[in-house]
Structure 1
Amino acid sequence: MSTTDAAPVEIITARNVPLGGPRAMTVRRTLPQRQRSLIGAFCFIDHYGPDDVSRTGGMDVAPHPHTGLQTVSWLFDGHITHHDSGDHHAVVRPGEVNLMTAGAGICHSEVSTQSTTTLHGVQLWTVLPDSARHGERRFDHHRPTPVSFDGGKALVFIGSLLGYRSPVATFSPLVAAEIRLDGHGSLTLDVDPAFEHGLLVDAGDIALEGVSVAESELAYTGVGERRLRISNRSPQRARMVLIGGEPFTEDVVMWWNFIGRSHDEIVAYRAEWEDHAARFGRTDGYIAHHPEGLDRLPAPRLPNAVIRPRKNPKPVARPERRID
């Protein structure tokens, strides 16, 4: 590939973040960052594992609230029990997407099962547009059919890619897929030029448009690209997650587990959660790993400043690394 026809690629590195209260597991977060807050409507990416549950304790996130977003759970290994205040109860399994729509408000818990020995996956959030953010709670589950191509296969769990369309309901144009490339495999992927994209590398020696992307890094490409070229430079199988969507243009205020449109909304959501208000309902079925664990997560203190909308740069990649 020549440097003249390669799409520009921006690299976003992960930061380690504790997840889930006093006995938090550590996750690698690439969105949101000061560098970039959104890719399409995707506003949050946590990448975790492979974790030895006997050593780390696994996932144990007590009931906590959400507003104005969808959570997308995707596992590579292990199992997680999900309970929410919409009376949805499910086991999240590898290769199956579980998508929870918070609407105006929901609370839920996430706990790795007792049989899980290794926990490994990603958690994504998407922002709901103003037209949908005051809607009802909802839960969708789908097991996509693998799509094979020369050099690997993919599982398309949101949107449309490689001839497969997921039936999972979203509220803005989006795509998400797990892509596996064989050793020294490559893929030229036809994509929607109206979308911006991010490629999160889970495992492998990956290059996107000739730019090296290390494990747990997120490679970003802006709008206008009709194809993306991915290659695995190692003899071992590689795995990554592709996300994308039309740039989200509404101003959003994001704090803790809430997404709103103003500081005052966030303050009100926090107060309602602390007051056990009806907005969020009640999660039944949560069983903590530890008997002395919390029965719900308390909201953190608000900052001593007005929480302002996140400013996202234009949907154009800003390369910071040379093409190899």
Structure 2
Amino acid sequence: MSNTETQPAELKCGGPAGDGPSPAVEVLTARQVPLGGPRAMPVRRTLPQRARTLIGAWCFADHYGPDDVSATGGMDVAPHPHTGLQTVSWLFSGEIEHRDSLGSHALVRPGELNLMTGGFGISHTEVSTPRTTILHGVQLWVALPGEHRHAARDFQHYVPGPVRLDGGTARVFLGTLAGDTSPVRTFTPLLGAELSVDPGATVTLGVDPEFEHGLLVDSGDVRLDGTALKPAELGYAAPGRAELTVVNEGPGTARLVLLGGPPFGEEIVMWWNFVGRTHDDIVRAREDWENASDRFGGVEGYPGDRLPAPALPNATLTPRRNPAPATKDAR
């Protein structure tokens, strides 16, 4: 997925800063951003934001739907570039056609992971299929660590099976949870899972205490370690927890996405669809895209022009850091 904002913020992210403890669970609210389509399908963005720019290596989280494509036009994102990151596509309903400059042509379907590695440079398209009526899911980005930020282009597909929990189910698409491990390769330790929590149930999950975690609520009224979260909110839990407790207080099944990873120890610069380490990295990536260099390759089969890069801001790069992670004693 592309960041289609016409004036994307330029962010220097990573590395702890700030003083004093954080609340037990920090509640992050989303902002609405238009995404592609003739009538601009809206998405809800919880990462990055001023309060928090990274959760582990997770650096971008868009949450969309349930979207009636007959009213919005659905998703139609023209060829666009990425550097220094992996994209993670996960759907709840609908279907998206993916094409990239590696030559991959795949369908993104509910419960199936599609992970694309941008590394030094890749381009791709995402278009909801004609048979899609309701489009609903998340699009996530993972920042690559410095030693791997120029990794080769790659595309992986994986279908995780359901894992029964006491009070719900999990589908683990990255990392390890509830005794299940995804075989999908990542460049830093990560956790990514869809959770379903039964009405009135309490689910306790054993997690890595070295990880910080984010719980994105798709549906349901839930509590994470006692803190209430509403749909479209993301609850942040600092490192130091050996368990996370999720309570579904609503009458229906709650659907959630759990993200995690150790705090990302490097500073990164994010702008538009690029992740680099310096302002000059971003400038070079933008120039290479605008000049149609071989760095990003070409996408075959899309009936339209590629996305132009927005103009760079005429401003000095200002660091925007995460608060210092206030660890919680492992339970």
TM-score between both structures, scaled by the size of structure 2: 0.90
Please name the residue that 1:291 is paired with. Answer: none
Q: Does 1:301 align with 2:311?
A: yes
- Long gaps (5+) in structure 2: 1-22
For residue 286 of structure 1, report the CA deviation from its aligned partner: 1.8
Counterpart of 2:324 in structure 1 is 314
Matched residue, 1:110: 126
Please tell me whether residue 129 in structure 1 is matched to residue 129 in structure 2. no
Q: Does 1:178 align with 2:188?
A: no
Q: Which residue of 1 aligns with 2:291?
A: 275
SS of the residue corresponding to residue 131 of structure 1 reads helix
Q: Does 1:40 align with 2:50?
A: no
Aligned residue number for residue 321 of structure 1: none
The structural deviation recorded for 1:185 is: 1.4
Residue 225 of structure 1 deviates from its aligned partner by: 0.6
Between the aligned partners of 2:183 and 2:225, the Cα distance in structure 1 is 30
Q: Aligned partners of 1:106 and 1:19: how far apart in 2? A: 20
Instruction: Check whether the contact 1:21–1:297 (CA below 8 A) recurs between aligned residues.
Output: no
C-alpha change, 1:97 and 1:31, in structure 2 (3 Å) is same
**What's the RMSD between the two structures over aligned residues?**
1.4
Report the Cα offset of residue 315 of structure 1: 2.2
Structure-1 separation of matches of 2:237 and 2:302: 40
Following the alignment from structure 1 to structure 2, what is the Cα–Cα distance between the partners of residues 42 and 24?
25
Q: Alpha-carbon deviation of 1:102?
A: 0.3
8 A contact 1:66–1:106 mirrored in 2: yes
Question: How do residues 1-324 of structure 1 correspond to structure 2 at under 5 angstroms?
Answer: 8-20=24-36, 23-287=39-303, 294-316=304-326
What is the TM-score of this pair, normalised by structure 1?
0.92
In the TM superposition, what is the alpha-carbon distance from 1:259 to its structure 2 partner? Answer: 0.4
Contact in 1 for aligned 2:39/2:72 (Cα 8 Å): no
Give the letter for the 2:214 counterpart.
G
Task: Give yes or no for contact 2:37–2:72 (8 Å, CA) kept in 1.
Answer: no
After superposition, what is the alpha-carbon deviation per residue over 1:229-284, rounded to whole angstroms, capped at 9, x for unaligned? 10100121110000000100111000000000101110111011000001000011
Q: After the TM superposition, which segments of 4 or more aligned residues of structure 1 sit over 6 Å from their partners?
A: none
Count of residue pairs the alignment pairs up:
306
Contact 1:213 1:219 in 2 (8 A): yes
